[in-house]
Chain A
């Protein structure tokens, strides 16, 4: 699904990723943990295709070289990033945005576009699964949403757009226990042999719900240790310093 070799990324003359290697097979869930500022969100941004980074190394997604593929094409090909800090976008109606997004992706895949009625039915169903109050979806995108609502809205988008490689950047931070379970259920029910997840988190707690196949520790822009889900437990006990 995803192969990263010796990935280096810098921005504003600051080196953030310093030779990162990672391979994610279809159907796998990988967790990335690591101290603040170690480059986790940067990795997520680079994968999503954000402009402004100077990048070297190899990035392959489904066998295709990602380097020259722009952000919207990556999304259309099935890369999805749930943001650590989802943006508020005034004026843009949430449902309208979701529908536009879904139809653009469908079009790119050569599928038939969805009509409004079918779309609303789909949203309603998915929102219900995630315990999202439907009313917020007729509001402006993320504007005035609570922290939890914003995070749930990211997962709702994931559910609706049905991507193949899903990057969750600290989707668990700021969530209460119930919301955490709902989101974990949302992720677990989406797991399949042709979808892969990259879960960025600070907390072992999330990994109790979403069982990762592999756990990696990112430090100073490199993966310094990889292991099974036990590694997360170990980290929780000992902290990052000891691991290094």
Chain B
């Protein structure tokens, strides 16, 4: 079933905001998906995550989701003041920017005719191109720096089961603006489903976007997200990926450093539980001189879990004085866990500073022993060591309240251990 899974053109007819041009684009993309199917390990980009096989093992049927039940008793978190956007099954439901100057912020449901029309050979991106019908466009006026963090509540309803969702969001930060976001995924469904999302980010000159993505709890979701980021001069992009707790999660992040002095920072702290599969794949393109990119990925892996980091740094010939850094560290708690790291450097400029490193190892028995001589059980000792390993990342979050919130969530996911 999954091996020869195809989707009928009728699904495109159901999308209501269509013009002819858009429709043709969608049909072409659907054709590509139908010809290629879900990506498998034969595809170099999916070498370590055979999505088709994973789906085959876990899904019998897959259908397109068309329901968006409103959550009447949805409650905001009350750990700190924040603006919010509420998405249900990817659909933009409502937003509240009560801490901000309203006219500085534009938010609306995504429209199909303004999206990028880049050609893609990625079947999931093509599927998203063809079928996305939900999401938001958020634009921040120039010179405006939001007072409070924006939480994007990404809620999945309990009636999802064997569905696939295709969502798309777009964020534009105009010159000299600033936005902090937390993408907070709440999954009410006890069943399996697939979320295929696409995110477009444009950071204009001197703007700053900082994001944290985190799950409210463990869930049986299979998530793929393609994130397409363009950075103009002096802009800064910071992304903390703390999204442990999904059965499958692949974050595919492309960053184009298009303007001088732009900077990208990708950090991740992941705890992979029994059977989880997570991949972070990045492609950072240094296209002009004087840009910086930093990536630090730390993963803790429990039994039968699999973690992957594929990080590619591309430095164009004119991109002199590039400073690029990449580090991946994995802590294997169990011998049945597997971690693959594949750094890739493609450098065509000569005056660059580029470094990468990758380590993976078991928990240090002597450290466990030391802690146990102080009365801690093995469990408690491991918990301290795991938290300690991951805290190196979360400790870089500047706001204390947010850091506390995030560490609490992360600890909650680790605690089952």
Contacts and interface: CB of A to CB of B under 8 A. Distances in A.
B370 A83 contact: yes
Interface string B389-410: 1111000000000000000000
Nearest to B331: A91
A51 B370 contact: no
Interface in B369-417: 369-378, 380, 384-385, 387-392
Given A72-B372, A75-B372, A89-B371, A104 B377 contact: yes
Interface residues of A, number: 29
A20 B375 CA distance: 26
Nearest to A102: B375
Contact of A108 (B366, B375, B385): B375
Interface size class of chain B, counting residues whose CB lies under 8 Å from the partner chain: 20 to 34
Interface residue SS majority, chain B = helix
Contact of A72 (B376, B387, B389): B376
A77 to B, nearest CB: 9
A91 B389 contact: yes
A104 B373 CA distance: 12
Interface string A102-118: 00110010000000000
A71 B372 contact: yes
A48 B392 contact: no
A72 B378 CA distance: 8
A157 interface: yes
Interface in A159-184: 161
A85 to B, nearest CB: 10
16 contacts: A48-B373, A49-B373, A70-B372, A75-B373, A83-B370, A87-B366, A90-B388, A91-B387, A91-B388, A92-B388, A96-B384, A100-B380, A100-B384, A101-B375, A101-B376, A161-B375
Q: Kindly name the residue among B370, B374, B392 whose own CB sees the greatest number of chain A CB atoms within 10 A.
A: B374
B375 A105 contact: yes
B370 A101 contact: no
Contact of B391 (A49, A72, A87, A91): A91
A72 B366 contact: no
A97 B374 contact: yes
Interface in B167-221: none
Contacts of B387: 91-92
A21 interface: no
A104 B371 CA distance: 11
A56 interface: no
A190 interface: no
A164 to B, nearest CB: 13
Contact of B375 (A72, A89, A92): A72
Contacts of B369: 50-51, 71
B66 interface: no
Contacts of A86: 370
B380 A104 contact: yes
A76 interface: yes
Nearest to A108: B375
Nearest to A103: B375
Contacts of B374: 75, 97, 101, 104-105, 157, 161
Contacts of B377: 72, 104
A42 interface: no
Contact of A104 (B376, B390, B391): B376
Nearest to A107: B375
A48 B376 CA distance: 13
B380 A89 contact: no
A81 interface: yes
Contacts of A76: 375
A165 B377 CA distance: 20
Interface in A56-96: 70-72, 75-76, 80-81, 83, 86-87, 89-93, 96
Given A89-B370, A92-B384, 17 more contacts: A48-B373, A51-B369, A71-B369, A75-B372, A87-B367, A87-B370, A90-B392, A91-B389, A92-B385, A93-B388, A96-B384, A100-B376, A101-B371, A104-B380, A105-B374, A140-B388, A161-B374
Interface in B45-77: none
Contacts of B385: 89, 91-92
A193 B325 CA distance: 59
